[in-house]
Amino acid sequence: MTDAAIKAKIIAEPSTWERLMTDRNWLGFWFMVPAAAFLILFLAYPLGLGVWLSVTDARLGRDGVFVGLENYEFLWDDPTFWLSVFNTILYTGVASIIKFAVGLYLALLLNENLPFKAIIRAVVLIPFIVPTVLSAIAFWWLFDPQFSIISWTLKHMGLIDQNINFLGDPWNARWSVIFANIWRGVPFVAITLLAGLQTVSPSLYEAAVIDGASPWQRFRFITYPLLTPIIAVVMTFSVLFTFTDFQLIWVMTRGGPVNATHLMATLSYQRAIMSGYLGEGAAISTAMIPFLLGAIMVSWFGLQRRKWQQGADND
């Protein structure tokens, strides 16, 4: 009798509560709750809300009503919007290409056998550590129309007669903010590519040298192919963050002079928060999404290619 009772207890069905606490799927669910709560409440929901806002005439502090594609039609005829699209593409294109070229070059230099290598590598990354806004203020001062040290130096070297109006002239302003962006982005590209370079086996280079390969051939046929997957990922991130940049522009020019440096992000801030046209601002933000999807696709294929090169189960 007692034996039977004990046996029954041992093989008793787990209660619902026990199931919820030990079942793999339920446990996984519980563990995901905090992260999912944040990402749904503050990321997925606003993302959807943004698309909805872009088809309403919402203002700051007032709910909007559905107006169809009116905001987009308005933007289609708005030269300022198209100027901001042009600026964004110019900014992203030029800055990304130069960041990649200089970053790769710097990574190759740092991969050489150098004295104080660790310290140099640590120092290189400092522009990336310092908050963007704070270094943008330093650039604002460096590009001051009257007291710029760059103008001063060039004047004393006899190269120019007048101070350069860095942030006051449309094209000068564009190049100045692009320069500041490159300055901040190069360390990131260089250090991540350096990590990739360090995984390339030196024996490959030795074999190539014995076979009589020139330095260019060594780069082209060993370094570059082995680095392609990491280049794809790094450049995707770089393009993504340059495309959606806000801080640098906002601090240095606020989109001026005469909208010459407005990016889509700064224009949407100006329209939505400063002027209060939430719907219009949301439409500009939403217009950025197709470009971002393009970047994500590139990243995806970059990752696929890495798996193909190194074996799919290489985690």
Partner 1 sequence: MTDAFVREVSQPERVLGDSTADHSEGMSYLQSVPRRIVTLYVPLGLILLVLLFPFYWMALTSVKPDEQLLDMDTYSPFWTWSPTLKHVVKLLFDTAYPTWLWNTMLVAVCATALSIIASVLAAYAIVRLRFKGATVTGGLIFLAYLVPPSILFIPLSTVVFQYGLFDTPFALILTYPTILIPFSTWLLMGYFKTIPFELEECALIDGASRWQILMRIVLPLAVPGLISAFIFCFTLCWNEFIYALTFISSTQYKTVPVAIVTALVDGDIYRWGSLMAGALIGSLPLVVLYAFFVEHYVSAMTGAVKE
Which of the ranges 17-25, 71-79, 89-97, 219-227 carries the binding residues for partner 1, by CB under 8 A?
Answer: 17-25
Selection from 128, 118, 239 nearest residue 190 by Cα:
128
Chain residues 191-220 in contact with partner 1, contact rule CB under 8 A: 191-192, 195-196, 202, 205-206, 209
Give residues with Cβ within 8 angstroms of 11, minimum separation 6. none
Judge whether 291 and 205 are in contact, CB under 8 Å: no
Query: Which strand (E) or helix (H) includes residue 179?
Result: helix 170-197
Residue number, 83 or 143, with CB nearest to partner 1 = 143
Tokens of 251: 């601090």
Say how far apart CA 100 and CA 104 lie, in whole Å: 6
Using CB under 8 A, which of 95, 107, 173, 186 touches partner 1?
Answer: 186
Separation between Cα atoms, residue 186 and residue 222, nearest integer Å: 23
Per CB under 8 A, 312 contacts partner 1: no
Contact of 193 with 234, CB cutoff 8 Å = yes
Coil, strand or helix at 66 = strand
User: Per-residue string for binding with partner 1, 225-254, x by CB under 8 A?
Assistant: -----x--xx--x--xx--xxxx--xx---
Query: Smallest gap, in angstroms, from Cβ of residue 22 to partner 1?
Result: 8
CB of 8 to partner 1, least distance (A): 22
Q: How far is the CB of 272 from partner 1 (least distance, A)?
A: 5
CA–CA separation, 175 and 167 (whole Å): 9
**Options 20, 69, 101, 114; binder of partner 1; rule CB under 8 A:** 114
Binding partner 1 (rule: CB under 8 A), the pick from 132, 176, 223, 253 is 132
Q: If binding is defined by CB under 8 A, does position 92 make contact with partner 1?
A: no
Contact 230, 303 (CB under 8 A): no
Query: Does the protein bind partner 1 through residue 81 (CB under 8 A)?
Result: no
Which of positions 27-66 make contact with partner 1 (CB under 8 A)?
27-29, 31-36, 38-39, 41-47, 49-50, 53, 58
